[in-house]
Amino acid sequence: MAQRYREPVTPPGPSTAAADPLVADLRRALAPDRVRTEDLELALYGRDASGIDAGGRAAVVCLPETTEEVAACVRAARAHGRPFVARGAGTGLAGGAVPVGEPVVIVTTRMTRILEVDPDERVAWVQPGVLNLDLTRHLATWDLHFAPDPSSQQACTIGGNVANNSGGPHCLRDGVTSAHVVALEVVLPDGSVTVLGALDPEPGGYDLRGAFVGSEGCLGIATRVAVRLTPNPPAVRTLLADFASVEDAAATVSAVIAAGIVPAALEMMDARITAAVEDYVGAGYPRDAAAVLLVELDGLPAGVEAHAAEVVRLATAHGARAVRVAADDAERALLWKGRKSAFGAVARILPDYYLHDTVVPRTRLVEVLRRVYQIAERHDLVVVNVFHAGDGNLHPLLLFDRRVPGVMDRVHAAGEEIVAASLEAGGVLSGEHGIGLEKKAYMDRLFGPDDLDAQARLREAFDPDGAANPDKVLPAGARCGDLQRAPEGAWI
């Protein structure tokens, strides 16, 4: 629901923090060293990886370690008329954890315990600050893994994955985070604690678990997550195909899916990013390819071999110059290191980038990619494309140097045109990064008034006062009653 606020009180600096009643209550709830008011820390926790500046700042930063401490932070914030924002590792790319106004920022990165693993039921209970890759490494003992694998896998947290319904290269067949969360313990915006979902195969009632996953911190804060575990496949084949044209690579993507083969992952990279990655990592990518496809197949050995042979045949028939099959796990890991290092590699081209996250139908990939290149050229920007081709989840990176006067205006104008081109092709605003601050102004281009009203009503059912991560996701006017009068001292 769109929010309107009263003018906030200036947050305390280091010299006045001890006298601030909100800070005093928070320090009674947590150890004093886990309640931060120093200007540097407030500034650090006022940003995420998106680089978006909403003009706000954290009033105070809290570092709870238990569900009870999270609930105490929420209750303290509410008692003092403050909204609150949940924050994980800060790897989000849509501004979802960026403070608007001066909220209490509740950081879950100290909640890092893997509480329970049940290998027989293939479920684990974890705290939200557990790193995605650390969970999979922990599960290696049981030959299991957590399927969602964002490119920020080494740094992003399970809580962040839940908030944004994150995906990753290996979600083509197995699905994004919502398909791998069974139940959640959450602190609701009034400070109460409840469990959404259950370990039962068919839990009763509404699917509130499904509503919470992907809600971007607007419905509360997850404090324990029951994740579904996936068995490691008995056989894996990873292939790298290189092409003389983007069109041939895109045609191969459609041909593979049309043949009834759904790979574990199907990624595309264009010429400029392929060369940059090779210079950065040395993974053996062809520097002269117009595009490459990274295809991973897994399952039973006989089926994997048959599908690998068919992918080689289809790629060759659609113009692949060569198809390389990783010989062993080390070579496979190196190929994936190249793909997952792509965002870091762009610094070899220009120092800054703006990353988009739209989804388009596979059949219109070439058309939209062509428009992306044209948009970048018209705005005198460099663009590279590295994306989840199997499900049409585009990630065009606009590269620039922010020290150049006026460049940010061109970047934002190009970004808006890319969103419009994706929607015109029958696409959607986000595949895995979320809406946050970045795309909330575009929501009415995708959803009609009734759709936005339904979303606002759901949010209001969880959070009638609009205290949880305010002013994110839904645009102003999404709910006809969103301009209601605030109770004295409250933020709505």
Q: What is the residue-averaged pLDDT of the chain?
A: 92
Higher-pLDDT residue of 492, 258: 258
259 domain residue, yes or no: yes
The answer to whether 207 and 163 are in contact (CB under 8 A) is no
Give the number of other Cβ atoms within 10 Å of residue 442's Cβ. 19
Helix (H, G, I), strand (E, B) or coil at 91: coil
pLDDT of residue 480: 57
**How many structural domains compose the chain?**
3
The answer on 355 and 341 residing in a single domain is: no
Distance CA 421, CA 444 (A): 15
The answer on 253 and 207 residing in a single domain is: no
pLDDT category at 491 given cuts 50, 70, 90 is very low
The answer on 120 and 195 residing in a single domain is: yes
The answer on 279 and 373 residing in a single domain is: no
The answer on 261 and 206 residing in a single domain is: no
The answer on 221 and 248 residing in a single domain is: no
Q: Is pLDDT above 50 for 487?
A: no
pLDDT of residue 456: 97
Stated pTM of the model: 0.91
The answer to whether 419 and 356 are in contact (CB under 8 A) is yes
Question: What letter does residue 389 receive in the DSSP assignment?
Answer: G
Q: Is pLDDT above 80 for 371?
A: yes
Least confident of 95-99, 135-139, 203-207: 203-207
Phi, psi angles (nearest 5°) of residue 221:
-125, 125
pLDDT of residue 18: 52
Domain extent at residue 173: 114-231
Mean pLDDT throughout 282-286? 95
pLDDT per position as a tens digit, 372-411: 999 999 999 999 999 999 999 999 999 999 999 999 999 9
221 domain residue, yes or no: yes
The answer on 239 and 339 residing in a single domain is: yes
The answer to whether 226 and 199 are in contact (CB under 8 A) is yes
439 domain residue, yes or no: yes
Write the CATH number for 210.
Answer: 3.30.465.10
Phi, psi angles (nearest 5°) of residue 55:
80, 5
87 domain residue, yes or no: no
Boundary (domain end) residue, out of 192, 213, 231: 231
Share of the chain above pLDDT 70, in %: 93
77 domain residue, yes or no: no
The answer on 215 and 261 residing in a single domain is: no
Mean pLDDT throughout 108-135? 98
Share of the chain above pLDDT 90, in %: 89
pLDDT category at 44 given cuts 50, 70, 90 is very high
The answer on 378 and 339 residing in a single domain is: no
The answer on 193 and 222 residing in a single domain is: yes
Mean pLDDT throughout 332-345? 94
The answer on 219 and 240 residing in a single domain is: no
Structure tokens given for 89: 């590792």
43 domain residue, yes or no: no
399 domain residue, yes or no: yes
Q: Is pLDDT above 60 for 137?
A: yes
Boundary (domain end) residue, out of 301, 323, 349: 349
Write the CB contacts of 68 (distance below 8 Å, at least 6 apart in sequence).
Answer: none
Mean pLDDT throughout 12-33? 79
99 domain residue, yes or no: no
Boundary (domain end) residue, out of 290, 318, 349: 349
The answer on 280 and 212 residing in a single domain is: no
pLDDT of residue 330: 96
- Residue (of 297, 295, 289) closest to 322 by Cα position: 289
The answer to whether 252 and 360 are in contact (CB under 8 A) is no
Phi, psi angles (nearest 5°) of residue 93:
-115, 10
pLDDT category at 9 given cuts 50, 70, 90 is very low
Structure tokens given for 491: 């933020």
Alpha-carbon separation of residue 410 from 350, 404, 436 (angstroms): 15, 11, 21
Query: What is the C-alpha R_g of the chain?
Result: 23
